[in-house]
Amino acid sequence: MKTAIATVSISGDFTEKLAAIAKAGFSGIEIFENDFLAFDGGPREVGRMVRDHGLEISLYQPFRDFEGMPEPQRQRGFDRAERKFDVMEELGTDLMLVCSNVSPISLGGIDRAAADFAELGERAQKRGLKVGYEALAWGRHVSDHRDAWEIVRRADHPAVGLVLDSFHTLARGIDPETIRRIPGDRIAFIQLADAPKIDMDLLYWSRHFRNMPGEGDLDVPAFMRAVMATGYTGVVSLEIFNDQFRGGSPKSIAIDGYRSLMNLMDGVRRDEPGVAIDIPDMPPRIEAGGIEFVEFTADEAEAEELGGLFTAMGFAKAGQHVTKDVTLYRQGEINLVVNTEREGFAHSAYLVHGTSVCDIGLKVEDAEATLTRARAMKVEPFEQPVGPGELKIPAIRGVGGGLVHFLDATSDLRNVWDVEFRTAEPVEASGDAGLTRIDHLAQTMNYEEMLTWALFYTAIFETRRTPMVDIVDPGGLVRSQAIETADGALRITLNGAENRKTLAGHFIAESFGSSVQHIAFQTGDIFATAERLKQAGFRPLAISQNYYDDLEARFGLEPDFADRLRAENILYDRDGEGGEYFQLYSPNYGEGFFFEIVERRGGYDGYGAANAQFRIAAQKRSLRPRGMPRG
């Protein structure tokens, strides 16, 4: 399958765009005319540059305000087209996109438009070129691909085809199933874009908020299944207008684009029986069964401090690595690893980020299949030398630079604790606090990185995105979205900071990059856990008493129940079906890292978003002044 991306989709100058697109793995590009016009080089030079990168120019676009014009504008349109044909010949491309007319002086009429395209097709064919007609969602007379197809059908010229764009079809709510009736050999080109559902002017929505397939809310898979059912065998391209992407990394956005296409087309191939899609074979999206371990990197002093905190939370020192300075702490199904090695990846992460989470291990059905899928999604695998007695565990580099290891039950990988660790010397422990498993990890990044992180997880794993919510911080808003499996075995929350005044932004700035900011442990009895923690000397985050006064009134809580929450600094939420959620927080560790303990009752499947602003206010009050030691 030939893939392409419009040059307008990513940032950088023309040479930067080409390098990023080629490295990401695309076959070709759509040259957006303004990118060409802004480049200080002739069309022959541009064409040569594109081919030197191993790419082809799949499309030249857009040609505007052509069909249905009165004279003398009609003749001027043909003259303009001939000039564009000259440029195309020098560029070395043979297809030009003509979008539906938006001019206020344009005349309606399908037959009139068809006649114009019949003549344009004749002119293009004489020069070995073709044109494709696309219905803009805001076109003056043609805004529906069905009308555009009727014009192409009546033009009845081999050099005139139909261009379909998922945004223009789906944004107007047009049923993509109508595409199945169009002969595949009359479709000249496919453009894809997703978008969040926003109630706004179509043109503004299109020009500023498009994103990659799988990053928005439009049913791009249904659109593409219908396209492939027609027998279409041409180029599948991305055309993304997004303010955020225009300021992002060309390399990162290009890789996101390729990843989104591979994920989309793999899904279409599986969901639309009988279609032939020439993409690399890969396993389906991987079922994830939860988090097997979280690894921290630290120096010796902070490792001791972390160990003391873990012990106060009921973790036992369960093992020491057979050859490395790596310690295992365990409670229930939770495995926390502290790495103080002076070489290797963990040490490199420490030098950059300080004490932080550098690695997470995920339980998967098949570790090697997971690695294969990740490779197909352009994710970089990770390897480092394996020492005596160690297992080779498949791993990749995560989006923020940390590692993700994969452990399955069908190999020796899930026996890593028995193989690589020896039982630790008995230590005095505070006793099990009733923590059973990791409920979720919260990863913090700059807001503009959120789409990349979400696509990373949803393209590799059988996960879904929850709706994005706004978290109010005294310093601004933080956008939050969860990535989760259907059964809740794996939950990861993504928190996008828009400025460094927020707690999330402060964490990113002080830890020099995106990372895991907090870990939520699950318990079956929050009050029993709170009591055990108190006995062990654990100090919870102090919540404002005003919160509890309002909470009691808002939910109509029994006074005794409200008093228990207040006494233990436990936050509370309830959903519309009566499900309940309890949250207990540790104070900040360092520059904003923290732990959370949660209990879910009655099927509650959220994350207590309504409590976030009160938790953040309490955390900001306890954030240590710069230069002060941790207490």
Please give the Cα distance from 212 to 206 (Å, whole number).
Answer: 13
What pLDDT, on the 0 to 100 scale, is given for residue 307?
A: 94
Please give the Cα distance from 238 to 568 (Å, whole number).
Answer: 52
| Widest pairwise Cα distance in the chain | 93
For the cut 80, the answer to whether the pLDDT of residue 628 exceeds it is no
Please give the Cα distance from 286 to 373 (Å, whole number).
Answer: 8
Please give the Cα distance from 589 to 160 (Å, whole number).
Answer: 64
> Within this chain, do residues 131 and 20 fall inside the same structural domain, yes or no?
yes
Q: Please, which residues bridge with residue 601 across strands?
A: 580
C-alpha angle 135-138-141 in degrees, rounded to nearest 5 = 65
What pLDDT, on the 0 to 100 scale, is given for residue 199?
A: 93
C-alpha angle 372-468-226 in degrees, rounded to nearest 5 = 55
> Within this chain, do residues 208 and 345 fall inside the same structural domain, yes or no?
no
DSSP reduced 3-state for 208: helix
Q: Read off the pLDDT band of 591 (50, 70, 90).
A: confident
Q: C-alpha distances in angstroms, 74 versus 101, 113, 380?
A: 12, 11, 53
For the cut 90, the answer to whether the pLDDT of residue 427 exceeds it is no
> Within this chain, do residues 157 and 58 fall inside the same structural domain, yes or no?
yes
Domain boundary residue among 366, 396, 423?
A: 423
Residue 566 domain-assigned?
A: yes
> Within this chain, do residues 190 and 333 fall inside the same structural domain, yes or no?
no
> Within this chain, do residues 347 and 470 fall inside the same structural domain, yes or no?
no
Residue 64 domain-assigned?
A: yes
Residue 299 domain-assigned?
A: yes
Residue 279 domain-assigned?
A: no
Please give the Cα distance from 408 to 363 (Å, whole number).
Answer: 6
Q: Read off the pLDDT band of 137 (50, 70, 90).
A: very high
For the cut 90, the answer to whether the pLDDT of residue 515 exceeds it is no
Q: C-alpha distances in angstroms, 27 versus 70, 254, 277?
A: 39, 12, 15
What pLDDT, on the 0 to 100 scale, is given for residue 604?
A: 97
- How many distinct structural domains can be found in the chain? 3
* 347 annotated binding-site participant: no
What pLDDT, on the 0 to 100 scale, is given for residue 511?
A: 86
For the cut 70, the answer to whether the pLDDT of residue 573 exceeds it is yes
* 518 annotated binding-site participant: yes
Which helix (H) or strand (E) covers residue 99, if one does?
strand 95-99
Whether the CB-CB separation of 93 and 31 falls below 8 Å is answered with yes
Residue pLDDT, tens place only, 167-207: 999 999 999 999 999 999 999 999 999 999 999 999 999 99
> Within this chain, do residues 614 and 480 fall inside the same structural domain, yes or no?
yes
Residue pLDDT, tens place only, 599-622: 999 999 999 999 999 999 999 987
Torsion of CA 485, 295, 347, 24, to 10 degrees: -10
Share of the chain above pLDDT 90, in %: 91
Residue 297 domain-assigned?
A: yes
> Within this chain, do residues 265 and 327 fall inside the same structural domain, yes or no?
no
Residues 6 or more apart whose Cβ sits within 8 Å of residue 88: 60, 94, 96, 129
Domain boundary residue among 242, 271, 300?
A: 271
For the cut 70, the answer to whether the pLDDT of residue 627 exceeds it is no
What pLDDT, on the 0 to 100 scale, is given for residue 624?
A: 54
* 596 annotated binding-site participant: yes
> Within this chain, do residues 267 and 297 fall inside the same structural domain, yes or no?
no
Q: Which domain range does residue 597 map to?
A: 435-622
Q: Read off the pLDDT band of 514 (50, 70, 90).
A: confident
What pLDDT, on the 0 to 100 scale, is given for residue 429?
A: 52
Please give the Cα distance from 297 to 358 (Å, whole number).
Answer: 6
Domain boundary residue among 241, 271, 301?
A: 271
Q: What is the 3-state secondary structure (H, E, C) of 298-322?
A: CCHHHHHHHHHHHHHCCCEEEEEEC
For the cut 70, the answer to whether the pLDDT of residue 430 exceeds it is no
CB atoms inside a 10 Å sphere around CB 391: 14
Residues 6 or more apart whose Cβ sits within 8 Å of residue 49: 14, 15, 18, 41
Torsion of CA 583, 589, 592, 596, to 10 degrees: -10
Q: What is the residue-averaged pLDDT of the chain?
A: 94
CATH of the domain at 89: 3.20.20.150
First to last CA, the chain: 59
> Within this chain, do residues 459 and 596 fall inside the same structural domain, yes or no?
yes
> Within this chain, do residues 64 and 176 fall inside the same structural domain, yes or no?
yes
**Helix pair angle (145-155, 110-126), 10° resolution:** 60
Cis peptide, bond prior to residue 62, ω within 30 of zero: yes
Q: Please, which residues bridge with residue 560 across strands?
A: none
* Residue type for position 104: P
What pLDDT, on the 0 to 100 scale, is given for residue 626?
A: 46
Whether the CB-CB separation of 55 and 27 falls below 8 Å is answered with yes
Residue 277 domain-assigned?
A: no
What pLDDT, on the 0 to 100 scale, is given for residue 399?
A: 87
Residue pLDDT, tens place only, 19-69: 999 999 999 999 999 999 999 999 999 999 999 999 999 999 999 999 999
Please give the Cα distance from 59 to 228 (Å, whole number).
Answer: 20
Q: What is the 3-state secondary structure (H, E, C) of 448-461?
A: HHHHHHHHHHHHHE
Residue 212 domain-assigned?
A: yes
Average pLDDT, integer, range 221-234 = 97
For the cut 50, the answer to whether the pLDDT of residue 485 exceeds it is yes
- Which has the minimum average pLDDT: 114-128, 348-362, 597-611, 614-628? 614-628
> Within this chain, do residues 451 and 552 fall inside the same structural domain, yes or no?
yes
> Within this chain, do residues 101 and 245 fall inside the same structural domain, yes or no?
yes
Is the whole-model pTM more than 0.85?
yes
Q: Read off the pLDDT band of 631 (50, 70, 90).
A: very low
Residue 628 domain-assigned?
A: no
CATH of the domain at 350: 3.10.180.10
Residues 6 or more apart whose Cβ sits within 8 Å of residue 265: 1, 224, 236, 277, 279
